[in-house]
A and B are shown apart, each in its own frame.
Chain A
């Protein structure tokens, strides 16, 4: 597009497309702060007056569904993605540097894991958890997350590791560093964009996952905040104010997390594949 001829065309079109695209989100935002009774008659208008009642209602629920859910979500997600980043980096590095055929076989096996939707293997997963005595526990859920999401992390890291020159590692090893230290002190810092990508993607997926925590944690171990959204929908379908407020509050943490990491994350996703 030649911008000099019609300079205002691009921003206008961009804003228009963006506005149309954003409309559903605007609807949620505008109705979170609207009095419940005003939502149905005037769903698209701005709230007048704006109110924090819906948010207050969510935060002060008798069963504390949101607050407990938030604590659980933050804990499970943070622990899962930290361990996942470490494990996938190490495994990805191992496979990328290994010259054995076995490594390639392992990689293909890992790829299969990417293609399975979790509802499909959920029932057998619960059987494994029960055999290990970890059913309905948070560590059990974290382990399931580890197993399920490690393929994605490995793939991302593998692509990136290939762009780290082998000589760097050999030089470090020549200096007497163990493989372990070589990895952590030399290679891993160079993988920062990939780490950011892994943290964001897996963070978003684990935070938003509702079926797995629903089944694995079960009803009496406390739920995650996304399961809470599902429950809030089930109970109060016509009370849009509180449903939207719940969804809004449940999304805020992960949105903030993404915004904090977003600059490095795109580099990580594409850096391994797309050369500038």
Chain B
């Protein structure tokens, strides 16, 4: 029977551990193989069997594998929600986490099940400098009203203000504007809003969240969001921005390296999603690292390998170069030759850290204070209703409250 080639680690293997990864245009097979080899070189006695998710939804695939009794031993960037509570993942000790900048990020009931190895700013508003100039925009917006003014100017010149995706199987790609507005309108005042929601003391229908959702609805009504995006897959959406089909592209910071590595024919700038009063709000997600299954053949060895994988300097350099991540490892500095868009993104992050303006990124959180399983997907689908105008904001928030109740029964 033909089978995928196994990747033996340097130093041979006494224990074979399966490792679930996912391939994207940024992170291809060669990338993973090299990263795996580096980690295996540091932890002898392990043979890694690389498994690849068939599409980008690695969490969904991990669930399918678990449902068929095949949960991989080590998993990369799989949301631990559900797995942790069901005891399927192994927890990392505080000592194991000593090299991480944010050792409590994404904790479930106070324990860490996914190494918080990198930070991503979600969203950053990347923009087409040429089109901004065409529309006579000279400064990037710092308040939300200025953002609306810029959009109006762009629209007047027949330039679509926002490129937003969400088509094909990539429904999640439509969430980024909402993540931005929730950060400015909800999380800035109430950083632990989702924890309060879990306790039932706030609801989606409350004014704070409603105002965040209403902003999206208004953007769509004014025609600032291109509804064609609802038919575009994630890759097509990025391509649309590169083809100049819209001036602003709210997207996670992983876009930065794609922008630098494959330059479009215009310069790209970046600014954070503006709040009403202009104060800085930087929504981030820290986590995204490796998890270990509690049923792995040798859990301690698997954990050692996972730590080696996430802490290795060269692996992190490779991740930074390929995927624009901001590694949250103590003492780590990204390579000096990163491109301008990445540098601009990191600058936003560092400003946020300095001004204490870091908040969570709505729908990206994991662990305590995150959405119940399946709800992020449902929210993404419901956002499509906001964009097409099929549902008014009140119905949208009511739907979210209703789905929350269903998911937590």
Asked if A and B touch directly (CB within 8 angstroms), the answer is: yes
Chain A residues with CB under 8 Å of chain B are 40, 61-65, 67-72, 75, 123, 126-127, 130, 135-136, 138, 214-216, 218-223, 227, 230-231, 233-239
Stretch at the interface among B65-73, B332-340, B398-406: B65-73
Q: Are the CB atoms of B55 and A123 closer together than 8 Å?
A: no
Chain-A contact segment, one of B46-54, B192-200, B218-226: B46-54
| Assembly CA distance A223 to B4 (angstroms) | 8
Q: Please provide the chain B residues from 165 to 197 with a CB less than 8 Å away from any CB of chain A in the complex.
A: 168
Also in contact, A123 and B67, with CB within 8 A (given A63-B29, A138-B1, A231-B52): yes
Task: Name 4 extra pairs, CB < 8 A, besides A72-B2, A235-B23.
Answer: A127-B69, A218-B65, A219-B52, A222-B4
Inter-chain contact B65/A221, CB cutoff 8 Å = no
Closest Cβ–Cβ distance, residue B24 to chain A (whole Å):
7
With A62-B29, A219-B20 known to touch, is A234 a contact of B54 (CB < 8 Å)? yes
Give B28-53 interface residues, CB cut-off 8 Å to A.
28-30, 33, 49, 51-53
Chain B residues near A (Cβ < 8 Å): 1-5, 18, 20, 23-25, 28-30, 33, 49, 51-56, 64-65, 67-70, 72, 168, 233-236, 238-239
Complex: A123 Cα to B68 Cα, angstroms: 6
Assess the A220–B1 pair: CB atoms within 8 A.
Answer: no
Closest to B6 in A: A220
Instruction: Indicate which residue in B1, B5, B24, B68 contacts A64 across the interface (CB closer than 8 Å).
Output: B5
A40 to B18, CA, bound (A): 38
A135 touches B2 (CB 8 A): no
Q: In whole Å, how far is B130's beta carbon from the nearest beta carbon of chain A?
A: 20
* Most chain A Cβ neighbours within 10 Å, of B28, B51, B55, B70: B70
15 residue pairs of the A-B complex, CB under 8 angstroms, read A40-B239, A62-B29, A64-B5, A68-B4, A71-B2, A123-B67, A135-B69, A218-B65, A219-B52, A219-B70, A220-B51, A222-B3, A230-B55, A231-B52, A237-B233
Give Cα A65 to B5, complex, Å: 9
Query: How far apart sit A230 and B4, CA to CA, in the bound complex (Å)?
Result: 16
B25 touches A72 (CB 8 A): no
With A and B bound together, what is the CA distance between A99 and B18 in angstroms?
54
A220–chain B nearest beta-carbon distance, Å: 5
Which of A70, A72, A135, A215 lies at the interface centre, i.e. has the most chain B CB atoms within 10 A of its CB?
Answer: A215
Shortest C-beta distance, B401 to chain A (Å), equals 29
- The A interface is mostly helix, strand or loop, or mixed, namely helix
Are A215 and B2 neighbours in the complex by a CB distance under 8 Å?
no
Contact of A72 with B1 in the complex, beta carbons under 8 Å: yes
Contact of A235 among B28, B49, B51 (CB under 8 A): B28
Partner of B3, one of A61, A68, A215, A238: A68
Looking at the assembled complex, report how far the CB atom of A28 sits from the nearest CB atom of chain B, in whole angstroms.
17
On whether the beta carbons of B1 and A71 are closer than 8 Å, the reply is yes
Complex Cα spacing A71 to B3, Å: 9
List chain A residues, Cβ under 8 A from B28: 235
Q: Give every chain B residue within 8 A of A237 (Cβ-Cβ).
A: 25, 168, 233-236
Return chain B residues, CB-CB under 8 Å to A138: 1
Interface contact A230-B235, CB-CB below 8 Å: no
By the criterion CB–CB under 8 Å, are B25 and A218 in contact? no
Q: Given A126-B67, A219-B51, is A234 in contact with B56 using a C-beta cutoff of 8 Å? A: yes
Which A-chain residue is minimally distant from B33 (CB atoms)?
A62
Contacts of B2 in A (CB 8 A): 64, 67-72, 222
Cβ-defined contact, B29 with A136, below 8 A = no
Q: Nearest CB to that of B168 among chain A residues? A: A237
List the 3 closest pairs (A to B, CB-CB), nearest first: A68-B2, A234-B55, A237-B235
- In the complex, the answer to whether A126 meets B5 with C-beta atoms within 8 Å is no
Per the bound structure, the CA–CA distance linking A24 and B241 in Å amounts to 26
Q: Report yes or no: A222 in contact with B1, Cβ–Cβ below 8 A.
A: yes
B16 closest partner in A (C-beta): A220
A130 touches B65 (CB 8 A): no
Rounded to whole Å, the gap between the CB of A276 and the closest CB of chain B is: 45
Tell me the smallest distance from the CB of A237 to a CB of chain B, in Å: 4
Contact status A231-B1, CB under 8 Å: no
Contact B1 A233 (CB under 8 A): no
Task: Give Cα distance in the complex from A72 to B233, angstroms.
Answer: 30
Question: Would A126 and B68 count as touching, CB distance under 8 A?
Answer: yes
Q: What residues of A have a CB within 8 angstroms of the CB of B4 in the complex?
A: 63-65, 68, 220, 222-223
A222 to chain B: which residues have CB within 8 Å? 1-4
Q: Name A211's closest neighbour in chain B (CB-CB).
A: B64
Please measure, in the bound complex, the distance between the C-alpha atom of A138 and the C-alpha atom of B235, giving whole angstroms. Answer: 34
Whole-angstrom CA separation of A70 from B1 in the bound complex: 10
